[in-house]
Structure 1
Amino acid sequence: MTSFAFPIIDLGPWFDGGPSGRQAVANRVRIACESIGFFAIVGHRVPDGAIDAMRSTSRDFFDLPTPRKMEVARPRPEQNRAYHAEGTETLARLAGNDTPPDYKEVFAIGPLDVPGDDPWYHAAPGAYPNYAPNLWPSDLPTFEPAWRTYWSAMEGLQDTISRIFALSLGLPEDWFGGALARHCSMLRALNYPAQRQLPRPGQLRAGEHTDLGMMTILKNEAADGGLEVRDLDGRWHEAPPVEDGFIVNIGDLLMRWSNDRFRSTLHRVANPRSGGGARRLSIAYFVAPAYDALIECLPGCATPDRPAKYPSVTVAAYRNARFARTAAPIVTAA
């Protein structure tokens, strides 16, 4: 691994520094997004208790026997919901590659309490599977409350970072608010177990890929075999754990929206270098606008020398089919 500058940005001035502080944070974020597409944040105001409870109850779930976890298995390959067992996801397919399945297991949820007061919108053509029902383990009483609390904290952080992105692109702070009002974001806990046997050739904890959404907010931890980011020269670099912060990266949708001003960067989760390595838990919140939001070149992101590169596309049209490719077929008993 070579070293490179991974920006760590304090959001304190965004909250407390007035217009000049907000602009200073936006400028730092813009530089990070235009260069490597990754940065870390501290001073985010997410309560420590919400993070601790999310980690604890997620570990409790992954410690359950496999048959218990399979009681809340993902219902269909295109639904990013509930339990994804080891061997059922291959993220490298997002980048057009085919490798052995990722060495991990996952639990995932999407938007809470839908359809709410607008059932037509959430059931309209094109909405599926973005608002598919969540499944919850029945015998872990702390699980659902912890996940709901963490989800709410991420919605708040999603709003803050989207405002920073807007200001960094020279737009009004609330520019992305309409697209995110009915967002179809996803929250996933990813358990990378100690590897009981040598990985197969080409198999990683998570294969190299870019994220499909607007951005990802990641809570990782210090353990051998973690997140690595690829630079423009094709070299891989370890991302810092930033124990008191989060790592944020740009997704494909924001890269398209910004006409490639912001970079969606290849990344992966490496295998441990020391034998089977230690278990690792990561918590990732994948921000996605409403399924029918139109992604087209933002004002100011196209110039005569750099015309709009991408055709307009809805969030659902871009994400749904590509994500379904990552899942192994679900086989049910006859």
Structure 2
Amino acid sequence: MPAIPEDNFSSIPLLDYSLALSSCTKAEFIRELRHALISVGFLYLSNTDTVVDHQLIENLKNYIPKLFALPQKEKDKIRMANSPHFLGYSKLGAELTKGKTDYREQFDIATDHVSRWKHGDPDYFNVWGPSQYPDEALIPGFRYTMKTYLTQVASLGTHFITLIAEALGLPPDGLSRFYDTPDRMQHRGKVVQYPVPNERSESDQGVGPHYDAGFLTILLQASPHPGLQVQNFTGDWIDAPPIPGTFVLNFGRALEFATKGIARATSHRVLSPPVGSSSPRHSVPLFHNIALDVRVRDPKYELEFPPEILKLRDGRGNLSQTDSINYSEFESQPSGMVQLMGRVKSHPDVAQQHYPVLFKQFYPDGLPKQGFAY
């Protein structure tokens, strides 16, 4: 068994984004980011209002209860099963993590994009496409607020990728080979509600243990509830409670594979709000994607790192194995296919309708008894 590093974390570091914007303090920020990348895999990020408007965040938070309070028939009109892009509404308990039901209700909404798929193209080209929004008359202003929010947070992610590159000893554009032109990119968001369970609930799984797939996730914890937990080197679950004025950032498996294991993708989960809580938990993640046809292990994407960065990785030791969903398909598949396979496993009812061949591959006996939206 590998030795446990002395810096096995027991809390999540807080980084000040404003330090990255000044030549006087950027080096300090890069050092802190390097530690978070290699030894933790998660961080809080404060002072981002130069990119993401504070009032916009507050406006979005105010919309979220209204969004979930829409009449069920209106939410059902934009159900995810309508969309080959896996965008839209999923009712409570409609998503699976490792075959177990996640107790959450959600709207998957992405940055604007026109699907590039045409007959003869790989299916995964169609995993990106236009979002579905509720009727504007029922929740006026939400669509504009959500689109603006996603655009600003995606911009934050695009800049943060250059900081990650520098923290890994690369030039600022060192990770750009993994991205396509802006018109051929889409970044996926969710608006999530975790309801309060009752004493008879069989599980407190808001979402089960998992890694994220891509390079970078930017999470807004939009209510004061605890629930997010991060797994450290020894397998302990470390709380990551909301800190006002911050985002939570974490790194995905694609980045871990692309950086030869230097960047750490960290297992995490969300617990339902404690029984007796007066309101549900709300969160808004954005998954900053890489290009659909990138194969991160292809030699043409191989990165060369300075010896001092490799030494830090080796000093950390091997990452512990967990039972979380780990996206090992990045070893052999293009990014888009990994995304599509993950969507099929999580939303089998959508796959049955739009990707019947893949559905049969993963669900030869038909839809599971639990975990499908309709």
| Equivalent in the alignment of 1:214 | 215
State the secondary structure of the residue aligned to 1:75: helix
Partner of 1:235: 236
Q: Is the Cα–Cα contact under 8 Å of residues 195 and 277 in structure 1 kept in the other structure?
A: no
Residue number in structure 2 paired with 1:73: 79
Q: What secondary structure sits across from 1:205 in the alignment?
A: strand
| Unaligned segments of structure 2, at least 5 residues | 1-8, 315-327, 354-374
Kindly report structure 1 stretches of 4+ aligned residues shifted beyond 6 Å: 120-123, 301-306
Q: Go from structure 1 to structure 2 and tell me whether the alpha carbon gap of 1:209 and 1:76 turns closer, same or farther (over 3 Å shift).
A: farther
Letter in 2 for 1:321: M
Contact kept, 8 Å, 1:230 with 1:266, in 2: the verdict is yes
Task: Report the CA distance between 1:11 and its aligned residue.
Answer: 1.1
Out of 27, 33, 38, the position equivalent to 2:37 is 33
C-alpha contact (below 8 Å) 1:163/1:175 kept by paired residues: yes
- Mapped to 1, the partners of 2:260 and 2:75 lie a distance apart of 42
Q: Superposed, which structure 2 residues align to 1:41-190 within 5 Å?
A: 41-44=45-48, 45=50, 46-75=52-81, 79-90=85-96, 92-93=97-98, 98-99=99-100, 101-114=101-114, 124-138=121-135, 139-180=138-179, 181=181, 182-190=184-192
Alignment correspondent of 1:22: 26
| CA distance, structure 1, for counterparts of residue 17 and residue 272 of structure 2 | 32
Do structure 1's residue 326 and structure 2's residue 346 form an aligned pair?
yes
Deviation at 1:29, TM superposition (A): 0.8
1:258 offset after TM fit, Å?
1.0
Alpha-carbon distance between aligned partners in 2 of 1:271 and 1:21, rounded to the nearest angstrom: 39
| 1:125-184 per-position Cα deviation (integer Å, ceiling 9, x unaligned) | 354333222111113221110111101111210112101101011111122335333333
SS in 2 for 1:217: strand
Q: Which moved more, 1:174-183 or 1:22-31?
A: 174-183
Unaligned runs of 5+ in 1: none
- In 1, Cα distance between the equivalents of 2:164 and 2:120? 30
Distance 1:247 1:140, change over 3 A: same
Whether 2:10 is the aligned partner of 1:9: answer no
After TM superposition, the structure 1 stretch with the greater mean CA deviation from structure 2, 69-78 or 184-193, is 69-78
- Distance in structure 2 (CA, Å) of the matches to 1:174 and 1:282: 31
Residue in 2 that maps onto 1:292: 293
Q: CA RMSD in A?
A: 2.8
* 55-64 vs 230-239, greater mean Cα deviation: 55-64
Provide TM-score, normalisation by structure 2: 0.76
Whether the 8 Å CA contact 2:215–2:251 is kept in 1: the answer is yes
Residue 291 of structure 1 aligns to a residue in which SS?
A: coil
SS in 1 for 2:157: helix
Deviation at residue 107 of structure 1 after TM alignment: 0.6
Could you say if the C-alpha distance between residues 196 and 70 of structure 1 is closer, same or farther in structure 2, counting changes exceeding 3 Å?
Answer: farther
Give 2:370's aligned residue: none
Q: 1:218, 1:285 within 8 Å by CA — same for their partners in 2? A: yes
TM-aligned CA distance change 1:187 to 1:311, over 3 Å: closer
User: Residues 259 and 178 of structure 1: is their aligned pair in 2 closer, same or farther, counting only changes over 3 Å?
Assistant: closer
Q: What's the CA shift for 1:329?
A: 2.1
CA contact (8 A) 1:121 1:127 kept: no
The 1:8/1:14 distance shift into structure 2, 3 A limit, reads same
Deviations 1:3-32 (A, max 9, x none): 9231000011211x21x5223212211101
Q: Alignment partner of 1:107: what SS?
A: strand
More helix by share: 2
Q: CA contact under 8 A between 2:109 and 2:189: conserved in structure 1?
A: yes
Q: Give distance in 1, aligned partners of 2:121 and 2:186.
A: 14
C-alpha contact (below 8 Å) 1:230/1:265 kept by paired residues: yes
Matching residue's letter, 1:183 = M
Q: 1:36, 1:319 → 2: CA distance?
A: 24
Q: Distance in 2 between matches of 1:136 and 1:278?
A: 24
The question of whether the paired residues in 2 share the 8 Å contact of 1:78 and 1:327 is answered with: no
Q: Distance in 2 between matches of 1:142 and 1:161?
A: 29
Shift of the 77–152 alpha-carbon distance from structure 1 to 2, 3 Å rule, reads closer
* Preserved contact between residue 80 and residue 110 of structure 1 (Cα < 8 Å): no
Q: Residue by residue, what CA displacement relative to the aligned partner does 1:263-302 show, whole Å, maximum 9, x if unpaired?
A: 1111111133344563111010011111112313422189
CA deviations on 1:50-70 (whole Å, 9 max, x unpaired) are 211222223211011222111
**1:208–1:5 CA distance, 2 compared to 1 (3 A):** same
| Cα offsets for 1:233-286 (capped at 9, x unmatched) | 111111031210100001111111111111111111113334456311101001
Letter in 2 for 1:298: L
CA contact (8 A) 1:196 1:276 kept: no
Partner of 1:191: 193
Q: How does 1:240-255 map to 2 (within 5 A)?
A: 240-255=241-256
Corresponding letter in the other structure for 2:289: A
Letter in 1 for 2:16: D
